[in-house]
Chain A
Amino acid sequence: MSTRAARRRFLVHGAALGSGLVLPTMAAKAAEVRMRAVWWGGQDRARRTNEAIQIFEKQRPDLKIATESTAWADYWTKVATLVAGGNAPDMLQMDYRYIVEYARRGTLLPLDAYIPRLLDIQDFGANNLDSCRVDGKLYGVNLGINSTATFVDTAAFAKAGLPLPTYAWTWDDLRRVSAEITKSRGKGFWGCMDSGGGEPALEVFARQNGKDLYTADGKLGVDVELTTAWLDYWQSMRKVNACVPPDVQALDKGSTDSAMLVLGKAAIDLRHSNFLEGFQLAHKEKLAITMYPQTKGGKWGQYIKPSQMMSVAATTKNAELAVSLSNFLVKDPAGTKVLGIERGVPASPAVRKLLAPDLNDVGRAMVDYIALITDKVSPLPPAPPTGAGEIQKLLNRQNQKVGFGQATPSAAAKEFVEESKRILGA
């Protein structure tokens, strides 16, 4: 018996031990300057960024920059773990959603002192600089600007005999054309994705109705009534088969490759403008871009924000180098030409002019889109409070409950508001 038991236990625990093995890392050579940079994003971004960084590295033979990129979903887990473990990378890509949290906790280096000597970004304009400030200090370099945007499959519109939507279209228009597209096609194709669980979409809808999703003091800005109207609208979409059913929408993980439009299940997708290039690469029909639908008699709901920023860790030993590299990525032609507009439209007019001749149709459409909406947007809302990420998932669950018939729109809205308040600690 004892042999039997011992052997079995060995089998079980041997496997456990195997996963715990750690390989020793190579010791760094003393003469080298080593830095680390991390970002989220897909393959195209990784290829471009690595190439740009290699060009920067060549300028200094002693410099070695290690880079790492992950998907958005894993990125914040990784960064938080690195920071908590005292291993913050020298440079980290930041998002508007997280910059307040990281800056206020002293994780990031204020960059104002480096302007203009190392960081020549005054031409970004006040808006594109202020959107990277927290409590009056600059904590990120704007890597590109974007806004929410609707992508449409032009072929599907042509097949249904519909004109392409313009920026002035309304939510009612969206329902009408989507239902017609569904009708014009066979099984397994619908007019629109189900964006009832999409936080950016709810935010735009709320702002069109004069509310912010979050107030300046970090409270939930939408009430039960407005949320009910929102969830109700999407239920009305489902009723007329205008959008994909909930069990199909549930496969959308928020990444480009699982988007309803890219999977060929829907003709309309509500996203952010900088995704256009990736979507077009993955879609065989020509895509067009326009604004989110409007609320009749409402206000402009969209806003222009930094799609990403480059931040420097407060703990870096090579602050000047990190700032120089940031500048290289957004101002130096050698860097900006490689990066292109993959991260959104560059904030610098000079860089936009430099890139213009080389843009393909998709790139030009994206730049034109930002130009089109510049006078049709409202000011940047306050940065989202801690817990906003959780509320994003909560909204998706409540929308699913309505879609799968487990709750009425008003019951789901009530739960959404109550749970959000609990998450925000109010």
Chain B
Amino acid sequence: MTAAVSESRVRLPAPARARKAKRRVDTRAAGYLFLLPWLVGFFFLTLGPTLSSLYLSFTDFNLLQPPRWIGAQNYVRMLSADPRFVGAVEVTLLYVVLSVPAKLAFALGIALLLDKGIRGLTVYRALFYLPSLLGASVAIAVLWRQIFSADGIVNAVLGVFGVAGMSWISNPGTAIYTLVLLSVWQFGSPMIIFLAGLRQIPQDLYEAASMDGASKWRQFRRITLPLLAPVIFFNLVLQTIDAFKAFTPAFIISGGTGGPIDSTLFYTLYLYEEGFGNFRMGYASAMAWVLLIAIAAFTAAAFVTSKYWVFYEDDGKR
């Protein structure tokens, strides 16, 4: 990745430019080749269930009896007569709005520290990435339960300072924030991507800036952030989609209930409960489609607005 980009910054003689164009076609073919496993999976495994869930979303289906066509009733109920649906949307939006920026800021901060060229970088990188590998696992969610429960580590530490803690994960006012923290803690994969992005920013820009007397903060705002914009954009889109789809932590930490009092009832958790707990598969399918549309709409909006804040240096005319 680094090689390809730095090459593009050098003015190449004409024959080399032609070679480069040919390579671009090759890489495109290679790209599709790499996509092939996904495409096969999509067409042979995912597409069928996806389409049948679209059909089921217009039916009343309790798993035991054949689905019964009820038109748009599921969608009508969702948008007009289901207070728990509204609650789940609110909880999910709060989670997205809090966790995504916090996680990205944290990931960028750590990436900036690591980019200083400290010794043992690979070790640190692996260490910081570790939570992301573990984070989605059940074990970590269980561990989180322990850390934030009434007699968990957090309260033990608070106790040292004379602060009486509470059971953070089972209090309707605080439970969602422990989930946000868990999400921020899994900053590894955006961090790795930020780090790669930072490595691509030419050092001579910083050298020139500091010769002109620009402060570190000014350099960060005027050089790092603009040049990192494509990477920030990429991370933002991916992390937001992930946050909308978050399920496991809330499921484990709330014992599958989304409790207490629905304070951690993520959209996906409610979808699961309606489908598999209350046997309203039709309604759950409709919810899945609404989520898909919401995520697609967000992603589209992100791409539209990106014109105004994301600049790609290798095709400067955008």
Contacts and interface: CB of A to CB of B under 8 A. Distances in A.
A105 B150 contact: no
Interface string A200-236: 0000000000000000000000000000000000000
B148 to A, nearest CB: 11
A2 B27 contact: yes
Contact of A246 (B31, B260, B276): B260
Given A13-B38, A83-B63, A105-B65, A404 B260 contact: yes
Interface stretch (A37-45, A51-59, A248-256, A367-375): A248-256
B101 interface: no
B172 A105 contact: no
A14 B37 contact: yes
Contacts of A7: 1, 34
B262 A397 contact: yes
Nearest to A401: B261
Nearest to B23: A3
Contact of B167 (A73, A83, A251, A397): A251
A384 B213 CA distance: 77
A100 to B, nearest CB: 12
Contacts of B238: 12
A98 to B, nearest CB: 10
A84 B28 CA distance: 43
B276 A80 contact: yes
Contacts of B41: 13, 16-17, 20
Interface stretch (A128-136, A330-338, A385-393): A385-393
Interface in B187-242: 193, 234, 238
Contact of B30 (A6, A12, A387, A393): A6
Contacts of A404: 171-172, 260-261
A241 to B, nearest CB: 15
A250 B167 contact: yes
Interface string B241-266: 00000000000000111011110000
Given A101-B64, A251-B170, A397-B261, A16 B38 contact: yes
Nearest to B39: A13
Nearest to A393: B257
B162 interface: no
A26 to B, nearest CB: 21
Nearest to B65: A105
A5 B65 CA distance: 45
B273 to A, nearest CB: 8
Contact of A3 (B27, B256, B277): B27
A404 B172 CA distance: 8
Contacts of B312: 1
A406 B64 contact: no
B166 interface: yes
A396 B234 CA distance: 42
A9 interface: yes
Given A1-B312, A6-B27, A251-B167, A387 B262 contact: no
Interface string B28-71: 10110011011001000110000000000000001111000000
A9 B37 CA distance: 12
B279 interface: yes
A390 B35 CA distance: 43
Nearest to B241: A12
Interface string B263-293: 0000000000000111101000000000000
Nearest to B314: A1
- Specify the main secondary structure of chain A where it touches its partner: helix
Contacts, number: 118
B73 interface: no
Contacts of A3: 1, 4, 27, 31
A247 interface: yes
A250 B166 CA distance: 12
B278 A248 contact: no
Interface in B293-318: 312, 314-315
A166 interface: no
Interface centre among B65, B151, B260 (most CB of A within 10 A): B260
A188 interface: yes
A252 to B, nearest CB: 8
Contacts of B149: 251
B17 interface: no
A77 B272 CA distance: 10
A77 B27 CA distance: 46
A134 B5 CA distance: 72
Interface in A50-100: 73, 76-77, 80-81, 83-84
B64 A84 contact: yes
Contacts of A406: 172, 261
Contacts of A83: 63-64
B278 A17 contact: no
A5 B41 CA distance: 20
A386 B149 CA distance: 35
B46 A20 contact: yes
Interface string A112-131: 00000000000000000000
Contacts of A387: 278
B295 to A, nearest CB: 14
Contacts of B262: 397
B63 A80 contact: yes
B34 A10 contact: yes
Nearest to B24: A2
A400 B258 CA distance: 13
Nearest to B145: A251
The 4 closest A-B pairs by CB, nearest first: A6-B31, A250-B170, A253-B255, A13-B38
13 contacts: A4-B4, A6-B27, A77-B277, A83-B64, A84-B63, A107-B64, A188-B150, A247-B171, A258-B255, A400-B261, A404-B171, A404-B261, A406-B261
Interface of A: 1-10, 12-14, 16-17, 20, 73, 76-77, 80-81, 83-84, 101-102, 105, 107, 188, 246-248, 250-251, 253-254, 258, 386-387, 389-390, 393, 396-397, 400-401, 404, 406
Interface of B: 1, 4-5, 24, 27-28, 30-31, 34-35, 37-38, 41, 45-46, 62-65, 145, 149-151, 166-167, 169-172, 193, 234, 238, 255-257, 259-262, 276-279, 281, 312, 314-315
